[in-house]
Amino acid sequence: MKTVITIARQYGSGGRKIGQKLAQRFSIPFYDRELIAAAAKQSGWSREILEQADEKAGSNLLYAMIMGNYPYMDSSITAGRLPINDRLFQLQAKLIREAARTGPCVIVGRCADDVLRGKENVLSVFLYADLTFRKNRAVKEYGVQPENAAGWVAKQDRQRSDYYHFYTDERWGETGNYHLCIDSSAFGVSGAEKLIANAVLLRENQIKSE
């Protein structure tokens, strides 16, 4: 198994759990919040501060353009003048590229599909689900109050969409940005994981035959 699996996901669609199952199936590293710990260790920044900034767009798009904050720029001089969100994104993008060079792994969120776009060994996945499924998971998995679930789900999706567009200039969830889009409410978490695992094997066989 040589594939790096990136998972973008609507809130409550089960992306983290599906990613963990895939990592266990293939015995490969899993990166989600783990990237926060790695970024904190490498940068010396507070993990708590980084968690607050994680997967949130920079404070001002015009500011980012003026400062030259183009995707994946790695300039220690300019980076020091950028908002914490932008510095965190740059560091996470660097860690994502390093992880992908090291070997197969699963990476959840953080624009990983765009950071690694064009790499032959990458399978990019987008997970979505109907609102009822996602509200139920928000309540059961994350302790969201039932009466607040719909608003919370919408808020998290909006935040992820803004983050993706801000750093990639692409539309979050646009099918053309991914190799595979799956409705996890139609197949369940386990079923979605199996579909992705099969897609990995099919893609690797296709690459071998070319």
Give the amino acid at 2.
Answer: K
More confident residue, 38 or 141: 141
- 59 pLDDT more than 60: no
- 80 pLDDT more than 70: no
CATH superfamily of 4-209: P-loop containing nucleotide triphosphate hydrolases (3.40.50.300)
- The domain spans of the chain are 4-209
pTM: 0.83
Q: What is the pLDDT confidence band of residue 71, given thresholds at 50, 70 and 90?
A: very low
Q: Give CA–CA dist 105/3, Å, rounded.
A: 7
Inter-CA distances, 79 with 2, 22, 68, 204, Å: 33, 34, 10, 37
Number of Cβ within 10 Å of residue 26's Cβ equals 17
Q: What pLDDT, on the 0 to 100 scale, is given for residue 42?
A: 67
Predicted confidence (pLDDT) per residue in 151-163, tens digit: 999 999 999 999 9
Q: Which of 101, 97, 70, 98 has its CA nearest to residue 86? A: 70
Question: Is residue 2 within 8 Å of 126, Cβ to Cβ?
Answer: no
Q: Which residues contact 68 (CB under 8 A, 6 or more apart)?
A: 75, 78
Predicted confidence (pLDDT) per residue in 86-101, tens digit: 777 888 888 889 899 9
- 168 pLDDT more than 80: yes
Which of 48-52, 129-133, 203-207 is modeled with the greatest confidence?
129-133
Q: What pLDDT, on the 0 to 100 scale, is given for residue 33?
A: 73
